Amino acid sequence: MTNRDKTAKLIVGKKEIDLPVLSPSTGPDVIDIRRLYTDAGVFTYDPGFTSTASTESEITYINGGKGELLHRGYPIDQLAENSHYLEVCFLLLYGHLPNSSELDDFVNSVTIHTMLHEQMQFLFRGFRRDAHPMAIMVGVVGALSAFYHDSIDINDSWQRQVATIRMIAKMPTIAAMAFKYTIGQPFVYPRNDIDYASNFLRMCFAVPAEDYKENPVLSRAMDRIFILHADHEQNASTSTVRLASSSGANPFACIAAGIACLWGPAHGGANQACLEMLKKIGSVDKIPGYIKRAKDPGDPFRLMGFGHRVYKNFDPRAAVMKKSADEVLDLLGIDNNPALQVAKELEKQALEDDYFIEKKLFPNVDFYSGIILEAMGFPTSMFTPIFAVSRTVGWISQWKEMIQDPHLKIGRPRQLYKGETHRDYIDINQR
């Protein structure tokens, strides 16, 4: 909404331009620069979008200073404590907490779509056995558009709804199949009589010779990991999904683009990188050396699982994750996990260090999640695929919101060109 009491004034050379100021429901005001090029002939420059709002959204709000994360207004710690993943999915997608019949219908729709087209298993078999599961997921999710032709018309609201349900339902099956394939075990089909998180764990850990025994504490911890990663407003992978979708591309292809972006170690790949780092540090006496390296501007090493573009106080997801790590290790009777000991001591030492205090670097969601996932039996290569399973609902909610926006425009950033200006072609013999 335009704030009538405020305008921003910009002076470019001799020109003075008034720019409207938009007020959000909460958070900082936003200067509307949409007419800037038309009115003043200049662009703005903001690599990494540190100060640029790329869209309007009603889904998720983060107050980085307060360490607050709200989905449709509800704090993440309340959702993690009281809700479950599919209810959070409903909330993100449709904007309100469901009543019991809405929830039953939604859970039922997701549950009956968990199987994959049978022919898709042959796609998996085309990958090398040692492929990273994320590489398989990028390919297989992109290929969904070749199998589900009846849900790729983005202008048809029914098809959008079917694609939404399919994606949330099939993503755990795809991730579990990618895992099974890389460890040389047979694929395990989903089962409709168990909940979403237990079903995922079963598809990962059951074998034909021995079924998986559900454990409510582990299922709850898995479900919590799904909730804590469900959405995070305009992060890199979500912005990738939005940009890819802005051209009208089909949703499966766009989510595959999001998965590709998530894989990077600065984003979803950080959970794998973090546990690998904790293991490399190995023991608490080595921590000061690694902290020294992280502070050295000449050394590219960073403390993985530390720092965040938006959170400058604490990451509310990390607090829940730390508690969950304790619960899971306690249940499994693991009281001397070296990675957890290193993590706790590293967190303590870093939080007392001036470098980390000044730069406002705190543990993020990835700092403790790897410890839980490893204790459950997942190899590090599965950490990012699990993040992808969880974030699928965030990507789809943001995609759905964007497609329904009557002002949707193709995303097309400008640039600050620094290359050669016009020059004429020179024949190869004259160079």
Q: Which is nearer to ligand CMC, 177 or 273 (CB)?
A: 273
Residue 113 catalytic? no
Computed on alpha carbons and rounded to an integer, the radius of gyration of the chain in Å comes to: 23
Q: Which residue of the set 132, 223, 308, 315 is catalytic?
A: 308
Residue 240 Cβ vs ligand CMC, minimum distance, rounded to whole Å: 12
Residue 173 Cβ vs ligand CMC, minimum distance, rounded to whole Å: 23
- The tokens of 430 are what? 């004259």
Q: Which residue has the tokens 């994750």?
A: 321
Q: Which is nearer to ligand CMC, 148 or 368 (CB)?
A: 368
Q: Which is nearer to ligand CMC, 308 or 400 (CB)?
A: 308
Question: From the CB of residue 178, how many other CB atoms can be counted at a distance below 10 Å?
Answer: 26
* 82/118 Cα distance (integer angstroms): 36
Orientation angle between helical segments 85-94 and 216-228, nearest 10 degrees:
20
CA atoms within 13 A on the CB side of 233: 22
Residue 201 Cβ vs ligand CMC, minimum distance, rounded to whole Å: 23
| Binding region for ligand CMC (CB under 6 A) | 235, 266-268, 270, 294, 302-309, 359, 361, 364-366
Residue 404 Cβ vs ligand CMC, minimum distance, rounded to whole Å: 25
Alpha carbon distances (Å) from 360 to 247, 310, 342, 350? 37, 10, 21, 11
Chain centroid to Cα 215, Å, comes to: 26
Q: Which residue has the tokens 């070749």?
A: 146
Q: Which is nearer to ligand CMC, 79 or 206 (CB)?
A: 79
Residue 366 catalytic? yes
Q: Which residue has the tokens 């620069």?
A: 33
Q: Which is nearer to ligand CMC, 165 or 256 (CB)?
A: 256
Residue 103: left if φ>0, alpha if ψ -120 to 50, beta else—which one?
Answer: alpha
* 245/253 Cα distance (integer angstroms): 9
Residue 273 Cβ vs ligand CMC, minimum distance, rounded to whole Å: 7
Q: Which residue of the set 223, 231, 315, 366 is catalytic?
A: 366
Return the active site residues. Answer: 308, 366
